[in-house]
Amino acid sequence: MSIAKKTALGQIKISLEAVAQLAAAAALSSYGVIGIAEKTLLREASIKPLKNKDYNKGVFIKQDKDAFVVDLYLVCAYGVKITEIITEVQKKVKYDLEKKFNVPFKAVNIFIQAIKTN
């Protein structure tokens, strides 16, 4: 699946993997976020941040009727208010994606997979 836009010069298709990479970059630039984690069961003992090429295992983009939904699985820093991290990441990711792709994003869902000390 991809985001398709029609312009006067032709059609543009943006892969959801590209959208996921931009969402991951926006999340990682937020204060308190250490990394993107793989979507796993919470009872698994070791959750490690993913490398740059593997972000598609921790960022999921779904189309919901006329808008898109982003699911992000994060590793956060110890000692920072989780509610502040989540709020800032949601605002930053939604703003960056809507600005870059000019399509509506209905929701940015954040799932904290681990809290780590540096």
d(CA 28, CA 95): 14
Query: Is residue 10 in some structural domain?
Result: no
Residue 58: give its domain's CATH number. Answer: 3.30.70.1350
pLDDT at position 32 is: 92
Q: Is residue 3 part of a domain?
A: no
Is 9 among the domain residues? Answer: no
Q: What pLDDT score does 35 carry? A: 87
- In this prediction, residue 97 carries a pLDDT of 93
Distance CA 2, CA 79 (A): 38
pLDDT at position 53 over 90: no
What's the domain range around 88? 15-116
pLDDT for position 105:
92
Q: Residue 42 — very low, low, confident or very high, per pLDDT cuts 50/70/90?
A: low
Residue 6 placed within a domain: no
The number of domains in the chain is: 1
pLDDT number for residue 93 = 95
Question: E strand or H helix at 95, and its extent?
Answer: helix 82-101
